[in-house]
Structure 1
């Protein structure tokens, strides 16, 4: 007997299956037919929800970015935090290791999943930059710092930090990651024209 499922349930079922197959087989090697077989649906049903495999990939990537963005939007609502504290909380909120899991992250770092990895980084930078800009503008209004190019600086900082600390792109050990993190915090201080070690001391006091 054919089981009828509502739109969101069926769509999520396709996404869950595709995400698992993308990670185990690699995006390029995974076919639409394999997704159909796993979910046990007809090709017409698949194309009712998604126009292509690429559109499924975009939806899988959006899951990661939406997770990060939702957490960061919650940080923005915390009026008790200073702009400096908000900024540090936002950067820490970009970590998805606990929610996604090491096995999934390891799969994303494989060469066959390069497109999935690249799309995820792009989505995070695109979605996070405007949120960070809001905090930068709040800090400028409160005379905490000054930033000549808020959006561009945040895009540069995000792209640099996400790439340089990514073990799937650069072969870095724990010590190297720590040095990169300190250098990135120092770079952020220069971008915002604040005294040296302003963010580093805050980071060490709360998360170091």
Structure 2
């Protein structure tokens, strides 16, 4: 199961990295696309719903925690690149871009975690776009 978690996480991280490279896409759009790339349900694979349900079982809490740790460690530096582009364009202003992205990812992992906060798909999207 560790290998599955690592492989799935690496797919999400790779997708997030690829999005940051697209300078022709607006900063805001890249931020949103990276956030959506982190959503396990959006990734390829026929057993994705089963995998999510499996991760949310109480006996699999350690695997679930491991997947969140990987995301919290790997994604903020990726998003920081996009945020710094936004700072250069005058869209954002922060002396702490990495720390801001760490907080954003912590928030998103809670919102996207179907087992933690019960939100409809529309509520989830709204919390990202407006939040």
Same fold (TM over 0.5): yes
Counting matched residue pairs gives 128
C-alpha distance after superposition, 1:89-134 (max 9, x if no partner): 1111112214251011101110000000011011012111000000
Q: Is 1:115 equivalent to 2:62 in the alignment?
A: yes
> What's the counterpart of residue 24 of structure 2?
80
Q: TM-score, normalised by structure 2?
A: 0.85
> What are structure 2's unaligned runs of at least 5 residues?
none
Please point out which of 112, 126, 130 is paired with 1:182. Answer: 126
Separation in 2, partners of 1:165, 1:88: 13
Structure 1 stretches of 4+ moved >3 Å: 177-181, 183-187
Separation in 1, partners of 2:50, 2:60: 13
Separation in 2, partners of 1:73, 1:165: 19
Higher RCO, 1 or 2 (CA under 8 Å, sep at least 6)?
Answer: 2
> What's the counterpart of residue 81 of structure 2?
134
> What are structure 1's unaligned runs of at least 5 residues?
1-18, 20-56, 188-208
Separation in 1, partners of 2:23, 2:105: 24
Q: Cα RMSD between the aligned structures?
A: 1.9
User: Are the structure 2 counterparts of residues 180 and 92 from structure 1 closer, same or farther at C-alpha, using a change threshold of 3 Å?
Assistant: closer
Please point out which of 100, 105, 110 is paired with 1:163. Answer: 110
Q: 1:2-21 to 2 correspondence within 5 Å?
A: 19=1
C-alpha distance after superposition, 1:25-76 (max 9, x if no partner): xxxxxxxxxxxxxxxxxxxxxxxxxxxxxxxx3x433212210111111112
Q: Is 1:68 equivalent to 2:15 in the alignment?
A: no
